[in-house]
Every structure is written in structure tokens, then in C-alpha cells.
Amino acid sequence: MRAKNTVESDPLWLDADERSLWLSLTCVLMKLPTALDAQLQKSAELTFFEYLLLAMLSEQPTRTLKMSELASITNASLSRLSHVARRLEGRGLLSRSEDENDRRCNNATVTSDGVSLVEAAAPEHVMTVRQLVIDAVGTSAMESFANGCRAIAEAVDPGGKRSVNPVCDS
């Protein structure tokens, strides 16, 4: 059985330049996370997601966030975040506790060992980000690229509803 076409007219197909842009973005979406994971796994035995989670916590004044806020910042489901938090907790990099002000919530706190690991991993991670993104984009295209990324972020998450994160809000 063929699916109904809910579009009243033919779709506006991508022209050659648009298709090239889309395929380039698809390549970045597929390959960049793998490259970042590989570098962080080698240098810190962390995935990119684990590094991001610990880094976001380490940037907080109290090194603590509600799990729901951390899920929003990292664009993770609570289930995925809980699984990763449990693994990081087992390594002594993170601790979880009941929120004193709202017993329905749990907090995640990066430990001193977690902060130390993020700080040790950061220089090589930044070097990789610089090599794979900043230098590849180049100074002349950086502002245009950043504006394009912000426009895409707004299109997929209007008003930043799933983000309280400088990663998506800048």
C-alpha cells in the first residue's frame, strides 16, 4: 500500500547547490561526532556526550544541575542521561542526589575527579575542534557559518525550548 501524499502540490525539490549543501551537512552530522568520540575516547576514555555532560556541569558555579536541566542542555532523554550518569558515577566522575528544594528532582554534580578529567581532556579536545571545524571553516566564513548554524538550530528548536545551553543559545 502506498502512503498518501499529504503535500497538495509537488515538493519543491532541491536544486544542485541546495542538494550539495544538504549532503555536505549530512556528512558533517554523521562523521563529526564519530571523530570527536574517537579523539576523546583515546585521550580521556570518554565519549563526546560524556565529555559534554561533565563540561556543562563543571561550568556551573555549584558544578550541579537538575537532571532535567542537564537533559535539556545535552539534548538527551532522561533515560539516556540516567544511564550515562550511572556509568560516570561508577567511575567517580559524577554524583547524583535528591534536590533539597524539590524532592521530585535529582541533581547531578561533577566530582573533583570529573573536573580534573575534563580539564585534562580540554586542550586536546579544543585542538581537535579547531582542526576539524574552526580551521576548516576559516576566518572569512566563520560569521556566515555561525549564522547558518544558529538559523538551523532555531528551525529545529524554535525559541530554544529544549535548550538552556550556551551551545545552542549563543
CATH number at residue 152: 1.10.10.10
Q: Is residue 16 part of a domain?
A: no
pLDDT greater than 90 at residue 104: no
Read off the pLDDT of residues 131-169 as tens digits, 9 standing for 90 and up: 999 999 999 999 999 999 999 999 998 887 655 444 444
Q: Is residue 150 part of a domain?
A: yes
Q: How many domains does the chain have?
A: 1
What is the distance of C-alpha 90 from the center of its chain? 22
Average pLDDT over residues 19-46: 96
What is the distance of C-alpha 119 from the center of its chain? 18
User: Can you give the residue range of the structural domain that contains 84?
Assistant: 45-164
Rounding to the nearest 10 degrees, give the CA dihedral for residues 17, 20, 26, 32: -110
Q: Is residue 94 part of a domain?
A: yes
Average pLDDT, the chain: 90
Three-class secondary structure of residue 46 per DSSP: coil
Q: Is residue 31 part of a domain?
A: no
Q: Is residue 95 part of a domain?
A: yes
The span from the CA of 101 to the CA of 122, in Å, is: 33
pLDDT greater than 70 at residue 89: yes
Q: Is residue 145 part of a domain?
A: yes
Tell me the DSSP string of 128-168: HHIIIIIHHH-HHHHHHHHHHHHHHHHHHSGGGTT---HHH
Q: Is residue 36 part of a domain?
A: no
Read off the pLDDT of residues 122-141 as tens digits, 9 standing for 90 and up: 999 999 999 999 999 999 99
pTM: 0.83
Helices within the chain (DSSP H only):
16-44, 48-58, 67-74, 78-90, 112-129, 135-137, 139-156, 166-169
Q: Is residue 12 part of a domain?
A: no
